[in-house]
Amino acid sequence: MLIELSLDFLRAEMERVKAHPASFPIFERKSRIILLKIYGVSAPGANVLKQEMLSLGGDAVVHKNAVDCKVSESDVILLGTRKHYEALVKKMEAADYFGLTRVRKELKDFLERRKAEYIDSPWGRRISFERTLVMGIINVTPDSFYTGSRKQDLKEILEAASHMVECGADIIDVGGLSTRPGSEPVAEEEELARVVPAVKAIRESFPRIPISVDTYRAEVARKALQAGADIINDISGLMFDENLVRVAAEFRAPLVLMHIKGTPKDMQKDPHYDDVVREIAEYFLERMEFAEAAGVDPAKIILDPGIGFGKQYRHNLEILARLEEFKSLKKPLLIGASRKTFIGKALGDAPPEERLEGTLAVTALCVMKGVDIVRVHDVKENRRVIDVLEAVKCQGRS
């Protein structure tokens, strides 16, 4: 009998074979083909990479005219295992020509970087990424796109928070400014009046639950952190308020950097991308560099590709289909897709109130692809989906 094994169960199967435990990491390094794309390599450099990978037992995809240098440069797709790439980095140590120094540095950085296993808030509350976390949404607004998330007074807010905690929320996200497509911002004073009392009330009633504040304004973030919030969740990726990065650095607060094209008011007016994954990844790299230069702790950055924020239907689907590519940036990944328009479209134009099952399907996909946080309206249902799938995933780690 011959069967193809699941990579998730390789270690368990090696134990059944009774291989020596010291050999497990060696075989695991050889077991999985990792596809890496490097952009803008000179044609001679692309040819060198292909030949070196072939000599190591791997391969590389290059432009059809790179071999005779009829093009000046080529993107390169490398096909190899971790073992191949470690050997390639070593062979390229003296390759300071054809732009290969940059390639070696990027490849070495990819191999050495590790995603944070946990992040601590300014107040010592720990957010651990051992499994997919549930971030429950409380909108202290009268106009968020899903009416079920709107909570106006403190009694409603505390009831919603209590229900979320009971149902297994890991984080509660409080927002006082609707960012639905076409929305206009409210005054900062109004946002403060909505958010700060809500954060204080939740913190007093639930001292252990991490609280995220969904804002792009520096003063709102500052006052919310002082009231007991733990995380800044910025839909603008530090683009809308230049002072917000200083607040994040000063408090050493975990920071969610989200991708957006345009503003909430105009973001859905025919957004265009030549390569949506590449453009979002480049945005993340630039925004992370900006944040780190201003003093933000790089180990506390979380990335959100911004489902529905300046994306057409097909863009949202492609982002979800290619989540692994964002994970290659080695930062915790947050996905906020709950009850959004693209789910309604996939379900035949279902309204927000009828998008729960579609949301759960996206959550299941995120769990299986190793997303770290899902931001959702319906904590109980999403928690149950996650718990079942995490139990299945644990079988490969036992």
> Which pair of structure tokens corresponds to residue 374?
């899902």
Tell me: the pLDDT tens digits for 176-185? 988 877 777 8
Closest CA to 302 of 290, 281, 284: 284
Taking 3-state DSSP, the helix, strand and coil percentages for the chain, each rounded to the nearest 5, stand at: 45, 15, 35
Q: How far is CA 119 from CA 65, 129, 164, 391, in A?
A: 46, 8, 21, 23
**340 labelled catalytic:** yes
Q: Annotated catalytic residue: which of 375, 380, 393, 397?
A: 375
Report how far residue 194's alpha carbon sits from residue 177's, in angstroms, rounded to the nearest whole number.
9
Q: What pLDDT does residue 396 have?
A: 64
DSSP-derived secondary structure for 242-291 = TTHHHHHHHHT--EEEE--SS-TTTTTSS---SSHHHHHHHHHHHHHHHH
DSSP-derived secondary structure for 313-339 = HHHHHHHHHTHHHHHTT-S-BEE--TT
- Residue corresponding to tokens 């090696």: 14
Q: What pLDDT does residue 265 have?
A: 78
Q: What pLDDT does residue 34 have?
A: 93
> Which pair of structure tokens corresponds to residue 151?
């909570």
Phi, psi (degrees; rounded to nearest 5) at 392: -65, -45
> Which pair of structure tokens corresponds to residue 55?
């000599």
Q: Please, are residues 291 and 245 in contact by the beta-carbon 8 Å criterion?
A: yes
**300 labelled catalytic:** no
Q: What pLDDT does residue 148 have?
A: 65
- Residue corresponding to tokens 């030549």: 274
* 25 sits in which H/E element: helix 24-31
Report how far residue 181's alpha carbon sits from residue 219's, in angstroms, rounded to the nearest whole number.
24
Report how far residue 203's alpha carbon sits from residue 183's, in angstroms, rounded to the nearest whole number.
29
Q: Please, are residues 205 and 158 in contact by the beta-carbon 8 Å criterion?
A: yes
Q: Please, are residues 391 and 367 in contact by the beta-carbon 8 Å criterion?
A: no
Q: What pLDDT does residue 397 have?
A: 61
Q: Annotated catalytic residue: which of 194, 339, 340, 355?
A: 340
Q: What pLDDT does residue 69 have?
A: 87
* pTM across the whole model: 0.92
Q: What pLDDT does residue 244 have?
A: 98
Q: What pLDDT does residue 209 have?
A: 98
Q: What pLDDT does residue 51 have?
A: 96
Q: What is the pLDDT along the chain (398 residues), one digit of tens a residue?
A: 777 788 888 888 889 899 999 999 989 888 889 999 999 999 999 999 999 999 999 999 999 999 988 999 999 999 999 999 999 999 999 888 899 999 999 999 999 999 999 999 999 999 999 999 999 999 998 766 666 666 678 899 999 999 999 999 999 999 998 887 777 788 999 999 999 999 999 999 999 999 999 999 999 999 999 999 999 999 999 999 999 999 999 999 999 999 999 888 777 888 899 999 999 999 999 999 999 999 999 999 999 999 999 999 999 999 999 999 999 999 999 999 999 999 999 999 999 999 999 999 999 999 999 999 999 999 999 999 999 999 998 876 65
Tell me: the pLDDT tens digits for 95-139? 888 999 999 999 999 999 999 999 999 999 999 999 999 999 999
Alpha carbon 92 to its chain's center: 31
Q: How far is CA 109 from CA 29, 85, 225, 329, 331, in A?
A: 17, 11, 33, 10, 13
